[in-house]
Amino acid sequence: MHELTHRAQFTGVPWLRAYFLGLVGELVGGVEPDPKRLLGAVARAVDEMRQGRNPIDEGGMVSLFASPERDLVFDMNDFDETLPGPWEWDVKRLCASLHIVARANGFRRRDADRVVRAAACAYRERTAWFATRRTMELWYDRIHVDDVIGHFPRRYRAALERDIRKARRKDHARAVTKLTQAVDGRVVFAEDPPLLVHLEATGHDMDEATPMIERYRQSLADDRRELFDRFHVVDAARKVVGVGSVGTRCWILLLEGPDHPGGDRLVLQVKEAQDSVLEPYVGASALDHHGKRVVVGQKLTQAASDLFLGWTTAPESGRQYYVRQLWDVKGQSDPLAMDVRNLSHYGTLCAWALARAHARTGDAAQLAGYLGGSGRFDEAIVDFSAAYARTNERDHRALLTAIADGRIVAQTGI
C-alpha cells in the first residue's frame, strides 16, 4: 500500500530531478579515484559490520524518539496513511519488508525465513502477553530505551548506544541551529533554494498563514494551547521533505518564546495530509479531516506522542495539514547494515511495538485467541513474506526490462 503514495510525487516537483542530478555531478566531479583507498574503506566497513557496528554514519539501529517527559522510547512511526483496517496487513507488511531486506543483504533463503519467523513469533507471543494486561497497564506500557538496549545481544550494544547518543542530539535546538541564521539582528530561516524557500518567495504571505495557525491552535488541548501561546511565529518557509513525501506540501514555522539570553526557539512542521491509500479497500475515514486522522491515529497507536501534534486547514485551497515538531529527538534504523542475528533482533523489536499498538487499538484477547499457541501462524507469515519478496524481485526485473526496451523512460545511474 505504501508504494501507492509515491505514484505521482516526483512529477509533482519538476525541478527535483535536475537538482539532484546536479548534486551528484558535483560529487562525482570532485572525486579523485583511488582504488587502494576504496578497497581499504570496503574492508573497514566489512570489519565494522562483523563487529556489529554500523559503517553508515547516518543510519541508526532502531527508531527512537523522545516522550513529552523527555524519555527515549521505541515505537511506531509514519502515520500519513493511518486508518482502521485488518490487523494482519500490518503484520504482513512488516514481515515481507524484513524478508526483502534480508534478501537485499544477500542472506540465504533459510536465514531470511528465520528472521521473519522470529518476528511473527514475537508478534504472536507479545499479543498473548498483552491480552493478560489490564486496560490501564496496557495504556501506560512503553518500550523504553533501556528495554531496547537489553533486547539486543551484548555484541551490538556499543553501536546501539552510539546511535542513542546521536538520537538525543537531533532535537529542536539542533533544528534551529541547522535551519536558521541571524539577519539584521533577527533569527530567520536560512534560504536554501529550492529545498528551503521563504514564504514570500512562494507567492504567499503571513496574512494567509495566520488563519491556518489559529485553526491549528484550536486543535490543541487546553494545556497545550497555553504552552503554544507562550510562543509567537517569526518566520515561515516551504521545505522539501524526504523522498517518501516528495510532491506533498510542507511548510515550517519558526517560533520564539519569551526573551531568554540563550534564545528560546522552536520549529514546527506543517505537512499536507491527503486521502489515505487504504480508503479504496476499507472505506473513508470516520473523521472529516485528514490531518486529524493522522493525529488521532498517531495518538492511539503510540504510547507517547509529540506535545504539539495538531491539525489545520488552508483557508483558500482547503488543503488539510497536520502539525508537529520538526525534530524532537529522533533516531533512524538502518536494517541494510545489519547481519542476520542483528536483523532478527531488530525485527522482533518492531513486532513487539506493533503488537502493543494493535493491543491498544483492538482486542488483544481476540487476536491472541486467533493466533493460538502453535507456530502455524508464524509459518504462514514466512510463506507469504517469501512469496511477496519473490514477486517484488520479479516486478523489479520487469521494470528493468521495460526500461531497456524503451517502454518506460527512466534516468539511470543516479
What are the tens digits of pLDDT across the range 276-321?
999 999 999 999 999 999 999 999 998 888 899 999 999 888 999 9
Question: Which backbone phi and psi does 77 adopt, to 5 degrees?
Answer: -150, 165
* Domain end point (choices 309, 328, 347): 328
Domain shared by 137 and 229, yes or no = no
- 198-207 pLDDT tens trace: 988 888 877 7
What residues make up the domain containing 264? 172-328
Position 10, amino acid: F
- Quick check: is 371 in a domain? yes
Distance in angstroms (rounded) separating the CA atoms of residues 57 and 358: 33
Domain shared by 179 and 99, yes or no = no
Q: How far, CA to CA in Å, does 70 sit from each of 120, 176, 275, 307?
A: 31, 18, 32, 11
| Residue 50 in this model has a pLDDT that exceeds 70 | no
* Domain end point (choices 308, 328, 348): 328
- Quick check: is 30 in a domain? no
Helix, strand, coil fractions of the chain, as percent rounded to 5: 55, 15, 35
Domain shared by 93 and 214, yes or no = no
Which stretches within 131-191 are classed as H helix? 135-140, 145-151, 157-169, 172-179
Stated as kind and residue range, the H or E segment containing 374 is none
Domain shared by 56 and 140, yes or no = yes
167 neighbors 174 (Cβ within 8 angstroms): no
Domain shared by 184 and 317, yes or no = yes
Domain shared by 197 and 105, yes or no = no
Domain shared by 139 and 49, yes or no = yes
- 228-284 pLDDT tens trace: 999 999 999 999 876 556 667 899 999 999 887 778 999 999 999 999 999 999 999
- Quick check: is 23 in a domain? no
What is the pLDDT, as a whole number, of residue 381? 98
- Quick check: is 263 in a domain? yes
| Residue 46 in this model has a pLDDT that exceeds 80 | no
Domain shared by 184 and 239, yes or no = yes
Domain shared by 194 and 234, yes or no = yes
* Domain end point (choices 280, 304, 328): 328
Domain count, the chain: 2
Domain shared by 90 and 208, yes or no = no
73 neighbors 357 (Cβ within 8 angstroms): no
Domain shared by 51 and 152, yes or no = yes
Distance in angstroms (rounded) separating the CA atoms of residues 248 and 276: 13
